[in-house]
Structure 1
Amino acid sequence: MKFDVFSKRLKQAMASETNYAFAKRSGISEPLLRKYLSGASVPSMEKAWKMAVAANVSLDWLAGNVLLHTTNQTNDRSPLNQKSGNLDIHFAEGVKKTFAGFNVRLRKAMGDDTSCEFAKKSGLSGSSLHNYLKGLVVPSIEKACRMANAANVSLDWLASGCSAGTQLSQKELSSTDKDVQDYIPLYQPSFLNRKRHWKHSANILTHLAFSSRSLHKQGLNPNQLLAIPVMGDSMAGVLKDGDIVMIDLERNQLDAEAIYVVRLNHQLYAKRLQRLFDGSVRIINENKGYSDVIVEKANLSNIEIIGRVIWFCGWT
């Protein structure tokens, strides 16, 4: 996350409004606002939230996130949803636009992770996370972004619990820096074989950098992407042993013939899937040294589609 964009976006959000007027509406001091505008200081999450509300922009956008999402209030820990038709923040009727309950939502966002696990995932110290969970300290917006990304929730929900239905507006699109990147985790495939939550930083090999704008143009949510290495030569001709594939976890239904990562008999495979007229599924190996497999309709529950392969790379 690049927080040098925060001051730029704050200026854009303020438009022609004076520092005095915006500081008064935001409930922060004018000298402090000047520090944020100059980039000399990074605000706390609470102050950043107040400024986002005053400017009627998403906290995710103000903090430097390119992709904006809708947080589902009916599910306290729902993944980020990219479908939205609004240009500005719209709060549910009767919901107060206040910063409250952050530590409670942070605990929910952590899910089954221990404090030690989540702190490591977020790049924070255990003592800092402890203070946030106890409500003793409010994190900086920078550290809040780390926790939101680690938990796969939006900053707007984490800050207030409000549903902030947002989509990139023209102002936000035009102001997006070309060098802003999203970092997609590359996981050990052996970990994904286990029947438990796959996001665990101890099993991340590295992160792959992608242009945030490019992902947005493809309609992709970076919080629903992961990468794994290909193992074996059954897809030779398309995918080689050691190639890297990126998976869209939101596309975990067989909606068209394509290459998917599937879990079959507790093992992961990148395979081309084809639905047949009788409802059965053909698992296609590009390497014709391996036979294709037909899975009858009655046995489809034995196949778990992790996601669709949308990108791959490897050495020639």
Structure 2
Amino acid sequence: MDIKEERIAFSTRLNAILDTRGFAPKQRGRQTKLAEKFNLTQKGVRRWLEGESIPRIDSLRTLSEEFDVNIEWLHYGNGPISALHKEVGGRVKQARDAKGWTEAELASHLQNRTGDTEVIKVAGVRAIESGRRMEFAPDLAVYADVLEVSLSWLETGLNLVVDASAEEIESDEGAMVSVPKLSALASMGQGIPIELEHDRLISTVSISKQWINEHLPKVSSIDNLAMITGYGDSMEGTFNHGDMLFVDTGVDEFIMDAVYVLDLNGQLYIKRLQMRPDGVLLMISDNPKYRPYEINPEEKTTLRVLGRVVGCWSFRGM
């Protein structure tokens, strides 16, 4: 690959990242937004986006840290996109191996399930398993269905067995509640353009009422409990990229200093909200490398609180 091809390949990877982070489309503000975020010149950013240059190593490191992707992948296209992509891909392969299927057989089962023979290819399955595909095609929920594992296990490594569909299940250990897992990836950084209340249910996670009462006593009602996946690093220290977050959807307004899921300017965020004595509402990232954002009076009138984060479910491999 010559230098021109390397630059174009880099721009493809960078734009793919920005597509999943809620940035404006190319030619419609992406260049300006990226330049402002990193305090860079628009000319330099345009050259990155158009495949005319590759950033210096310090800028590459900043981009990889901000967007939580591996710098080797961002720079050269080598290796998995991120640790999270590698983990999810590894579980897809683990489930495929348990079935005794080849990559081609999994692709065939996915094609049969979706009727899509154009997008789903063996190469796509291989890319997903190696953590080198930015987005799943088809949806990861289809992989879970075909492989007969729970979606929550593919995403987090927890809850391997496919969840029961009943809202409440009686077991030897007492009442179990099926908490809805939504497909939204709520951003702890740049913001993602998704509406939580219109989001679709993709699985349920069975949790005992006793556990909820002990660990999530602040929830307004068990019926209001939902789970979403946190995305980004701006809330590090409180919870991390890829953590499953418990959200009390019964909270629809700012009531105290707490972490909320909120819609600001059509973007979905997970941020701490705090009211200053002068009445200014701050949107705060718990990661100290991010500055608080002052929500101006006009934005305050359109700000929508979609829920309060009351806990997280974190898994880290050893």
Query: Which bin holds the TM-score, normalised by the shorter protein?
Result: 0.3 to 0.5
Q: TM-score, normalised by structure 1?
A: 0.40
**Bigger Cα Rg:** 1
The higher relative CO (CA closer than 8 Å, separation ≥ 6) is in 1
Q: TM-score, normalised by structure 2?
A: 0.40
